[in-house]
Structure 1
Amino acid sequence: MNRMGKLPRTTQTYRLQHPIAVDGGSVEVVRLTRPDDAALNAMVALNLPEVLVAKHCRLILAIVSDIPGEAIGRLHPRDFRAVSSIAIGLIERPPGATVQ
């Protein structure tokens, strides 16, 4: 967190255990990036419940990952759980962090 209380822009990668086919190619690595303040505000506006289910995780992945939205459903369940966990970690705000 920077001194203004905002979260820094962060990118993480995850190597899929079960690569997926996308647009005639194969996706083996997923890049997830902490969303900017505008995207975080959009997620807050969705009024997601405290306990997220798969459809909520798919929405979050569509925002923070480089996987096309239509391909998220093709992720192997283990990969989906792992990538979702990373994505949720990127959008969680520690105490004191703000969204403008």
Structure 2
Amino acid sequence: MNLKNLSKHKKLLLGLLFDACGYISFIFPPFDFVWAPASAWLMTTLYKGKKGKIAAAISFVEEALPFLDVIPSFTLMWLYTYVFSSEKKSEETVIDIN
């Protein structure tokens, strides 16, 4: 399954799920040893290019350090990519006026 080609809504749902997985470490702290590298890999898989690599590094640090798990890094990356980014959107709207 290629996660980069998912629709933006599916990426949001996966991001919410991945952010929720980060909260497991509040109950079971050793989970961070597994989740920190996994979250970084998932971030680079979901978002391509330089911004995906930067987000992966931030996600790794955020998940590895105690008490920063409350930051929803996947959701914030989705918002940056699809709401706040100034890059031209790949989906263009075509209006037929016939």
TM-score (norm 2): 0.31
Q: Greater share of helix residues, 1 or 2?
A: 2
Q: Greater share of strand residues, 1 or 2?
A: 1
In our comparison, the structure showing a higher alpha carbon Rg is 2
TM-score (norm 1): 0.31
Higher RCO (C-alpha under 8 Å, 6+ residues apart):
1
